[in-house]
Structure 1
Amino acid sequence: MRTLIDFDAAPAFAIPAIDARGAPTVCEGMLLEGPQGWGEFSPPADGGDTEAARWLTAAAEPGTVGWPDPLRGRVPIAVPVPALDTDRAHAMAASSGCRAADVTVIGTADSLAGDIARVAAVRDAIGTAGALRCIPYRRWDVETAVRAIEALAEAAGGLEFVEQPCRTIAELAAVHHRVDVLVAVDASAFELAGVTPGALADAADLAMLRCGPLGGVRRALRVAEATGLPCTVGSAGETSVGLAAGLALAGVLPQLRFACGLGTGLLRGGDVVGGRSLIPVDGHLPVAPMPAAPDRALLERFAITDPARVAWWRNRLRRATGS
């Protein structure tokens, strides 16, 4: 891989954004240039070296071997709605042009009322024909999940699915067998933990695939096939370079019943890509044969300037290569 990609020249970036709770955060990572184009290496800061190695494989894929030929030219997208107040949540969903929404919910005893109000506001924004999904980010135990899902589904006038309501596969399976709403499993989280595809199929109705954590488009396709579940594709907070890989994955799935959670460009305060920045238009994003090249001016604007942080990222990349 080192003969194809100059790791020492990889630029490191930091872009302001808002997180799932609506709080300010920063999206950080590195961009890798191969003979055919660019890829993104942006594993989470708290992840291990095994996870980072998967991200490196995904980042090297578009610039070296490329992606499989797509089956569709564009992909339906869900607008991400953080845990905002009802007015901001409504405005975000209404202005996105998307016909599906991924709504962050907390689901604790003191936050459920706010979650219900947010879900109802988003339903009003996208209409009764829109697909509304809830994401609690693995915060719930089984009993909390069952109660919250029932309440949220009633407030929404129906949920398309709830993604990863619990932390463990056993808890997820228990919820799956007790609620009428479809349950989505984060395939990357459990695949890294060594959970078998058969166990995933027993615990959920569909699988959420994330290209970076799964090691690229080809590897994610193998995971999708092994689960035997309907699949959709989610974001891990990437720039447009990384989101292009998620769109490439969505473009080659044999079937795509659900809108993809790849609208996270709406949560960023910038991008490394200029004119081809991946912001949904009319609720869709295009599938491209390779990511757009980063804009040099934007790379300079969002470059990490703290020498210690640059060194941290270069060390993370070095460990991911096994050197």
Structure 2
Amino acid sequence: MTRMPHPLPTLPELLDLASVVSLPLNTRFRGVDAREAMILRGPEGATEFSPFLEYDDNEAVAWLAAAIDFGWSTTPPAFRDRIPVNATLPAVAVQDVAAVLDRYPGCRTIKVKVAERGQTLDDDVARVRAARDYLGVDGRIRLDANGGWNVDEAEHAIHRLAEFDLEYIEQPCPSVDDLWEIRQRVKYMGIPIAADESVRKVDDPLDVARRGAADLLVVKAQPLGGIHSALEIVERAGLPVVVSSALDTSIGIAMGAHLAASIPELEYDCGLATAALLQADVTASPLVPVDGSIAVQRPELDESLVQFSLAPADRDAWWRARLARVHALLTARSALATRTPDPMRHRPHSGASNARNRG
């Protein structure tokens, strides 16, 4: 499925065009205080390769395919030049909620992280209540459990949290079977179920839609192999989608914005405002929300900012070794795909990772 330029850029070419940065976060997120990313400079503009550190090489293949797709291929035609976005509220203490949400001016939708390890449902209820108080009655609240509940826990939590007028609940349970079950249990409540990990961390990203286990899909450009690959998944799934980010720099956010701009019908605010979680970025024009939306554009790299945020030498070497291994895997899979009539089967995908993505 992944639409790749032929031939792929060589490994020496990619290494020569690469910089590894480490960007501190305003708020601890996914258990880290800084986001590492490899920035590449392609003929179409800057692009990003930034699979999370715990992902293995097989899972990182799709992320490299996405980076090359964005940096070496033209983007599809756009239906809009701005993307409405949601605020993202990590699993912070109640007293910190307002300070986090103040970084998202004009956003009228908040995605609240719940089911955090080491926290309780009471913590979730307090955080969601604080988000609702911040928004008032007119804003939208969506929850993201990252598969942190089993079916019974999810049902109990949804009943506890329903009073806050929820837009939807993202990945309440880990498996497609569990998503189907919880969707049946809470359907009468009118709260939609969204699938995220069950789209991008499985061999068949369409299985969750085919089995009726979700009302909408969350799609992310990097984990799905790039804009063109993600667009084909959206078209074949036939469900409403939310385009989201993976704690990218503004370069990776731009990839997501171009994906969102290319989808004919975009019913929901997108999760593309996470550059607001970064203390630093690689462009002087970061894609942070203005009046609740971000622009569809390719930010220019600011080389002085890149230099300021360069990762230490040992981390730079770690990323370059990772790129070499993943490039070899992508080259082999691309060669296989050219000989195989079923591109969905051989789309670079995340595989079944044991690591739990908190993006």
Note closer, same or farther for the CA distance 1:5–1:123 as it changes in structure 2 (3 Å cut): farther
Q: Secondary structure at the match of 2:88?
A: strand
Give the alignment of 1:38-187 within 5 angstroms.
38-94=46-102, 96=104, 97-106=106-115, 111-154=120-163, 156=164, 158-179=165-186, 180=189, 181-186=191-196
Report percent identity of matched pairs. Answer: 36
C-alpha distance in structure 2 between counterparts of 1:29 and 1:303, whole Å = 10
Q: Which residue of 2 aligns with 1:256?
A: 266
Residues 104-144 of structure 1, C-alpha deviations (whole Å, 9 max, x = no match)? 11278961112111111111111211111011111100000
C-alpha distance in structure 2 between counterparts of 1:12 and 1:95, whole Å = 26
Q: Secondary structure at the match of 1:69?
A: coil
Note closer, same or farther for the CA distance 1:121–1:294 as it changes in structure 2 (3 Å cut): same
Alignment partner of 2:221 out of 208, 211, 227: 211
Q: Secondary structure at the match of 1:13?
A: strand
Alignment partner of 1:2 out of 9, 12, 22: 9
Q: Secondary structure at the match of 1:322?
A: helix
Alignment partner of 2:316 out of 307, 310, 321: 310
Q: Secondary structure at the match of 1:177?
A: helix
Larger deviation, residues 12-21 vs 244-253: 12-21
Alignment partner of 2:306 out of 290, 299, 311: 299
- Displacement, 1:51? 2.4
C-alpha distance in structure 2 between counterparts of 1:132 and 1:11, whole Å = 37
- Displacement, 1:196? 5.5
- Displacement, 1:19? 3.8
- Displacement, 1:64? 1.5
Conserved? CA contact 1:38–1:59, under 8 Å: no
Q: Which residue of 1 aligns with 2:291?
A: 282
Q: Secondary structure at the match of 2:166?
A: coil
Alignment partner of 1:273 out of 283, 288, 293: 283
| TM-score when normalising by structure 2 | 0.83
Q: Secondary structure at the match of 2:328?
A: coil
Amino acid in the other structure paired with 2:34: V
Note closer, same or farther for the CA distance 1:101–1:110 as it changes in structure 2 (3 Å cut): closer
Amino acid in the other structure paired with 2:73: V
Q: Which residue of 1 aligns with 2:235?
A: 225
- Displacement, 1:87? 2.7
Q: Which residue of 1 aligns with 2:4?
A: none
Conserved? CA contact 1:77–1:283, under 8 Å: yes
Runs of 4+ with deviation above 4 angstroms = 107-110
Amino acid in the other structure paired with 1:59: A
- Displacement, 1:281? 0.7
Residues 257-300 of structure 1, C-alpha deviations (whole Å, 9 max, x = no match)? 111111111111110111x1011011100112xx2122111111
Residues 219-251 of structure 1, C-alpha deviations (whole Å, 9 max, x = no match)? 001111121110111110100000001011111
Conserved? CA contact 1:162–1:184, under 8 Å: yes
Q: CA RMSD in A?
A: 2.0
Q: Secondary structure at the match of 1:315?
A: helix
Conserved? CA contact 2:199–2:217, under 8 Å: no
C-alpha distance in structure 1 between counterparts of 2:90 and 2:178, whole Å = 24
C-alpha distance in structure 2 between counterparts of 1:108 and 1:223, whole Å = 31
Unaligned runs of 5+ in 2: 1-7, 330-359
Amino acid in the other structure paired with 2:114: V
Unaligned runs of 5+ in 1: none
Conserved? CA contact 1:94–1:126, under 8 Å: no
C-alpha distance in structure 1 between counterparts of 2:261 and 2:269, whole Å = 12
Q: Secondary structure at the match of 1:214?
A: coil
C-alpha distance in structure 1 between counterparts of 2:198 and 2:280, whole Å = 28
Give the alignment of 1:29-40 within 5 angstroms.
29-40=37-48
Q: Secondary structure at the match of 1:31?
A: strand
C-alpha distance in structure 1 between counterparts of 2:179 and 2:125, whole Å = 22
C-alpha distance in structure 1 between counterparts of 2:107 and 2:55, whole Å = 31
Note closer, same or farther for the CA distance 1:110–1:294 as it changes in structure 2 (3 Å cut): closer
